[in-house]
Structure 1
Amino acid sequence: MPDYALIFDMDGVLINNTRYQARAFQLLFRELGLTTNALTLLKRLNGMPATNILKTVFRHPVPEKELKQYADRREFLYRVLYWEKRQETAGLTAFLQAARAAGFKIGLGTGSPPETISYIIDHLDLRRYFDVVIGKEDVDKGKPHADTFTVTARKLGVPPERCVVFEDALLGEQAAYKAKMRCITISSALKAEQFQAPMQVIPDFRGLTPERVLELLAQHPETPKPSKELAERQYMHL
């Protein structure tokens, strides 16, 4: 029985919803008279809390209370757009079942609040596969900081070097490396060459097995260091 843990991000990993997230942001920007391209923005900043993403599109300081109102509006728009589209990434349930049968502990580590987590994983009946669910309310700092994955691993009782993170976002990948964990990325929004150093890039979970994960861990014994180039970008300090 492998004493390892798998930690999953939610958006773009359990579900392929990036374009719906982007559409919701774009509608909000239109309401606010902003011309920012939401899809381009999310490819760069996906994984961060919505309020932090919104900070980057204003040229002037915006009070936190106002940012929270905008984030709530974006969340409402997203749920309306995605309501009838909710479905898991191909092969996910089969992989989760196989991973549990193989003895992996499984956690969810996302920047979403509890109601958004429920909107996805309870609707899709996925909660039963997760030993631990960590969201926005459970950490002090969201991605690209390490907290989300560090807290998830601690709750699972598995050391970071024995955790594999599944991410679709650049900042999520950086958070994994900051947490001293290795990473498999899902190319739901980005191309394979845009990631820093994942063990493997997969389009979805079809064909992935627990045995393959163990092979990848053996092939990649060292955790990559976070990218200095990415870490120096201004948005990393929000």
Structure 2
Amino acid sequence: MNKKAVIFDMDGVIIDSEPLWQTAQIESLAQFGVTITRQECEQLTMGKRIDDIAKTWCDKYPLGIDPSDLETMILTRLCDCISVEGEPMAGVYRALDFFIERGMRVALATSSNHVVIKAVFDRLKLWDKFSIICSAEDEINGKPHPDVYLSAAKALFVEPDECLVIEDSFTGLTAATRANMVTYLVSPAYQEQKFEIANRRFENLNQVVDALS
């Protein structure tokens, strides 16, 4: 590894929260008599910022509420789920320790809001593992725009091409690629054609560590 920093996405990389995000969306829309599927959530909202998620559903269905109200509903349900059910992805602690031991700076660059980050870091006890935490909530544009990754590199005092990004979604990979960063895709669906834009692909974080060791 000739990189100075590693930047992790959070949902689906650090914590197994994608099913929880889907549950929060499904249950929130059900209150308006709208039925959506997990497949729809994955196709339409995976890797996106909460305002983009809420706008997606408000544009698609006549919910009769402001998207900001739907945002609040989804986030409240999500944080409740994380605090009770949140589990780390396979190999998370091993991977974090691996990069830290090699002197690399470790950052987070996520589409999730700070309230979700806090719920995840409290649940998984991650506060001492990351030197920089960046949320797309603070950016003008969320992923697939590169803003949050460029902000992370700036906060780390490194150039974008000195960063390795670990992502699990096409949206996130697109953002990191646009930031001119090396990308590793980590997902059980790593063989899907859409993930060919990644520099390397793995099923889980344990495979990343094994490959770099």
TM-score tier after normalising by the smaller chain length: 0.7 to 0.9
**Which amino acid in structure 2 is aligned with residue 79 of structure 1?**
C
- 1:120 matched residue in structure 2: 120
8 A Cα contact 1:2 1:103, kept in partner: no
**Which amino acid in structure 1 is aligned with residue 149 of structure 2?**
F
Question: What is the alpha-carbon distance in structure 1 between the residues aligned to residue 37 and residue 87 of structure 2?
Answer: 26
How much has 1:198 moved relative to structure 2?
Answer: 1.3
Corresponding residue pairs, total: 211
- 2:29 matched residue in structure 1: 29
Question: What SS does the aligned partner of 1:206 have?
Answer: helix
How much has 1:58 moved relative to structure 2?
Answer: 3.2
- 2:111 matched residue in structure 1: 111
- 1:55 matched residue in structure 2: 55
Question: What is the alpha-carbon distance in structure 2 between the residues aligned to residue 105 and residue 130 of structure 1?
Answer: 8
TM-score, normalization: structure 2?
A: 0.88
Runs of 4+ in 1 over 6 A off after TM superposition: none
- 1:95 matched residue in structure 2: 95
Q: Identity, % of aligned pairs?
A: 25
Question: What is the alpha-carbon distance in structure 1 between the residues aligned to residue 155 and residue 211 of structure 2?
Answer: 24
**Which amino acid in structure 2 is aligned with residue 6 of structure 1?**
V
TM-score, normalization: structure 1?
A: 0.79
- 1:142 matched residue in structure 2: 142
- 2:175 matched residue in structure 1: 175
What runs of 5+ residues in structure 1 fail to find an aligned partner? 214-238
**Which amino acid in structure 2 is aligned with residue 208 of structure 1?**
V
Question: What is the alpha-carbon distance in structure 2 between the residues aligned to residue 207 and residue 61 of structure 1?
Answer: 41
- 1:78 matched residue in structure 2: 78
8 A Cα contact 1:2 1:102, kept in partner: no
Question: What is the alpha-carbon distance in structure 1 between the residues aligned to residue 48 and residue 137 of structure 2?
Answer: 13
How much has 1:170 moved relative to structure 2?
Answer: 1.1
8 A Cα contact 1:10 1:108, kept in partner: yes
Question: What is the alpha-carbon distance in structure 2 between the residues aligned to residue 137 and residue 58 of structure 1?
Answer: 19
8 A Cα contact 1:49 1:111, kept in partner: yes
8 A Cα contact 2:82 2:119, kept in partner: no
| Residues 62-95 of structure 1: CA deviation (Å, up to 9, x unaligned) | 9xx8211111111122233333222211111111
Question: What SS does the aligned partner of 1:164 have?
Answer: strand
Question: What is the alpha-carbon distance in structure 2 between the residues aligned to residue 88 and residue 202 of structure 1?
Answer: 17
